[in-house]
A and B are shown apart, each in its own frame.
Chain A
């Protein structure tokens, strides 16, 4: 599985850089959750566990933990696809408070 929140890579000198052009790290240090204006909230009482939110998340910021969909707010960009596609409307988009 992918490393969660991989560190940012800093090259101190040109010698540090790999001689072969290859990716040496994950993009996961980039917490895209800061882009969000509205956040999805899952109401477990209404959730059908149908998997639509997980299936259509473009990030993918919806993880399945203990058979429940859990939104990873570090990466969720707040597009709202999950709220539109949810058949039982258990996901609502609420305004982000900072």
Chain B
């Protein structure tokens, strides 16, 4: 391409251009959670209210009186993300505002462990909220403690190398699917177009909508900050984190059907938290991925 033609060429933007998340936030270098927030706000737009429990984002947002978002943010207690969002939605409806989207935005600790009863209650009542769980697989904000989202074999400060986590990750997608909510999806920060598409779809649906977003954390995973997107992409391509949608707890769609799944070994080797794993433990992780995929394909068929 000549220089002249290049000057004329438009910059390719595959996502909405609006930037509702401002610079100057307090996230670590290469944070996956900020990317998840950025894509979500791009999809939902200005008419959004966020309810954020204690999680990384409670800090990233900035201290009072600042905020790094162009939308209203409500900081709530750790276990109450879903119930706070329920209350905010009820309040908005009382004032006659039916179009504002209320989003509860929790980390994996506030969703898998501490917030699960509020989330389960809201899902059972089918409240008109979007619940987004950005999953960085431990309590990263308080200093990398084990959560029930931590995968098998991972190091954290409470599961040191000698006693690494010996239990598999909790299957939150199956738990939420069992609530028969109208819409449930998984997304990854490495596939923002897919994330924005799902978010736009969820915006048009009434009822509880749940998102499980995979957001790598370089600090807690002991990986290099520049590998954030690479890790998220690898997790999808080796079948560790499948991109799926489940409607009404029944209709399962696999968005990215990967026929030739890459070995999980390469993904594990990029992260310091899996450095101690022996080949037989890696093989066990690989075997679990295969079983999960078989189960998923059976559900989607």
Tier of interface size on chain A: 35 or more
Complex-state Cα separation, A50 to B13, whole angstroms: 8
Complex-state Cα separation, A11 to B13, whole angstroms: 41
Whether B68 is near chain A, meaning CB under 8 Å from some CB there, is yes
- Contact indicator per residue, chain B 11-46, by CB within 8 Å of chain A (1) or not (0): 111110101011111110111101100100000000
Known: A26-B67, A56-B35, A60-B19. A49 touches B9 (CB 8 A): yes
Which of B14, B22, B26, B67 meets A51, CB within 8 Å? B14
**A80–B24 CB distance below 8 A:** no
CB B29 to nearest CB in A, in angstroms, measures 4
Known: A1-B19, A32-B23, A54-B11. A27 touches B62 (CB 8 A): yes
Whether B229 is near chain A, meaning CB under 8 Å from some CB there, is yes
Nearest chain B residue, comparing its CB with the CB of A31: B24
Nearest chain B residue, comparing its CB with the CB of A35: B29
Complex-state Cα separation, A39 to B254, whole angstroms: 39
Whether B84 is near chain A, meaning CB under 8 Å from some CB there, is no
Whether B290 is near chain A, meaning CB under 8 Å from some CB there, is no
- Contact indicator per residue, chain A 26-38, by CB within 8 Å of chain B (1) or not (0): 1111111001000
Nearest chain A residue, comparing its CB with the CB of B38: A60
**A83–B226 CB distance below 8 A:** yes
**A72–B65 CB distance below 8 A:** no
**A30–B24 CB distance below 8 A:** yes
Complex-state Cα separation, A79 to B227, whole angstroms: 9
**A23–B70 CB distance below 8 A:** no
Can you spell out 19 A-B residue pairs with CB atoms less than 8 angstroms apart?
A9-B66, A25-B65, A26-B66, A26-B67, A27-B68, A30-B24, A32-B25, A35-B29, A49-B9, A49-B11, A58-B27, A60-B21, A64-B11, A67-B11, A72-B23, A77-B29, A79-B29, A81-B30, A84-B229
Provide the main secondary structure of the chain B interface.
loop
Complex-state Cα separation, A40 to B30, whole angstroms: 14
Known: A26-B67, A79-B228, A81-B229. A2 touches B12 (CB 8 A): no
Tally of chain B residues near chain A (CB < 8 A): 45
Whether B230 is near chain A, meaning CB under 8 Å from some CB there, is yes
Residues of A41-95 whose CB lies within 8 A of B: 45, 47, 49-51, 54-56, 58-61, 64, 67-69, 72, 74-75, 77-81, 83-85
Whether B277 is near chain A, meaning CB under 8 Å from some CB there, is no
Whether B192 is near chain A, meaning CB under 8 Å from some CB there, is yes
CB A1 to nearest CB in B, in angstroms, measures 7
Known: A24-B65, A27-B22, A80-B226. A51 touches B13 (CB 8 A): yes
Complex-state Cα separation, A83 to B25, whole angstroms: 21
Whether B282 is near chain A, meaning CB under 8 Å from some CB there, is no
Whether B225 is near chain A, meaning CB under 8 Å from some CB there, is yes
**B64–A23 CB distance below 8 A:** yes
CB A80 to nearest CB in B, in angstroms, measures 3
**B23–A81 CB distance below 8 A:** no
Whether A14 is near chain B, meaning CB under 8 Å from some CB there, is no
Whether B295 is near chain A, meaning CB under 8 Å from some CB there, is no
**A27–B19 CB distance below 8 A:** no
Task: Give the chain A neighbours of B11 by CB distance below 8 A.
Answer: 49, 51, 54, 64, 67-69
**B29–A27 CB distance below 8 A:** no
Complex-state Cα separation, A60 to B62, whole angstroms: 16
Complex-state Cα separation, A20 to B229, whole angstroms: 39
Whether B10 is near chain A, meaning CB under 8 Å from some CB there, is yes
Complex-state Cα separation, A29 to B165, whole angstroms: 41
**A75–B23 CB distance below 8 A:** yes
CB A17 to nearest CB in B, in angstroms, measures 8
